[in-house]
Amino acid sequence: MSALQTFGIVIFGVGAVVSGWLVFRTDSMVRAAYWLMASFVAVGAILVTLDSQFLGLILILMMAGEMTIMAIFMVMFMMNPAGLNPMVMVHQHRTAIAAGVGSFLLLATVALVADFPADPVPLGADPTAELGFELLGRSMLVFESAGVALLAVMIGAVAVAGKWGRFGDADAGSVEPELEPEEGGS
C-alpha cells in the first residue's frame, strides 16, 4: 500500500468518525441526515482505496438515496427540522456514552491484540470482475435471495405503513399520548 493510500484512509477515516459524531450534535435533523451521508461517503471512499471500487460506489449511491428519503421523513415527522432552535432530544445520556465508549474500547482491543493472517489482495487482481463472476456464478442463490428479501420487504413495508388497519383505518381515534414525568425525576 502506497503512502498516498494510507494517508487517504486515515483522512477519510477521521472524516467518517467526525461526521458520524456530528449526526448527534447538530440542531437540525435534516442536517443530521446529511452528516450521516457524509460519514457513508467517507467510508465508501475508504472502500474504493481498498480495491473495492464497486462496493464503495454502491454504498455511496445507496446512501445518497436513503439519506434523502430520511431527510424527507425528518421534515414530515419531526419538530425543528430546520435547526432554528437548539435541540437536545436524548435520554439515558451517561449510559449511552458509557456503552459507546465501552464498545469502542472492546473492539479496539480486539483489533490491536488479535493476530490476523496477512494475506492481502494480490497485485494485479480485478476484484470487481471476480465479484461479478461470484454473484452470477456459484453464489447466485445468495444474490437472488437478497433480491427476493428486498421484494418481500417492499410489500411488507407498504402493508405496515398503509392507512388501512386490521380493524379499519389505522389512524381512527388516534390520540397523541401525553408525556409522563420520570418517576423520581425533576
Partner 1 sequence: MIEVILLISAAIFGVGVYGALSQQSFVMIMMGLELMINATVLAIVAFWWGTTGGDPRGQLLVVVVLAVMAIEAAMGFALVTAVYRVRKADITEKLKRLRN
Find the binding residues for partner 1 in span 44-63 (CB under 8 A): 46-47, 50-52, 54-55, 58-59, 62
| Least separation in angstroms between CB 71 and partner 1 | 10
Q: Determine which residue in the list 2, 3, 4, 92 makes contact with partner 1, applying CB under 8 A.
A: 92
| Least separation in angstroms between CB 109 and partner 1 | 9
Query: How big is the CA angle at 122 (ends 118 and 123), to the nearest 5 degrees?
Result: 130
| Least separation in angstroms between CB 33 and partner 1 | 7
Q: Does 74 bind partner 1 (CB under 8 A)?
A: yes
* Residue labelled with grid coordinates 425528518: 74
Q: Does 84 bind partner 1 (CB under 8 A)?
A: no
State which of positions 25-44 bind partner 1 (CB under 8 A): 29, 32-33, 36, 39-40, 43
Q: Determine which residue in the list 91, 141, 167, 186 makes contact with partner 1, applying CB under 8 A.
A: 91
Q: Does 186 bind partner 1 (CB under 8 A)?
A: no
Q: Does 167 bind partner 1 (CB under 8 A)?
A: no
Q: Does 82 bind partner 1 (CB under 8 A)?
A: no
> From CA 56, how far away is CA 58, in angstroms rounded?
5
Q: Does 118 bind partner 1 (CB under 8 A)?
A: yes
Indicate the helix (H) or strand (E) that contains 165: strand 164-165
Looking at the DSSP bridge assignments, the partners of residue 164 are 169
Nearest alpha carbon to residue 37 among 70, 10, 8: 70
| Least separation in angstroms between CB 128 and partner 1 | 9
Grid coordinates representing 161 are 405503513
Q: State the angle between helix axes of 29-49 and 3-23 in degrees (0 to 180), rounded to the nearest 10.
A: 160
| Least separation in angstroms between CB 84 and partner 1 | 17
Grid coordinates representing 185 are 425525576
Nearest alpha carbon to residue 22 among 6, 37, 41, 7: 37
> From CA 7, how far away is CA 95, in angstroms rounded?
35
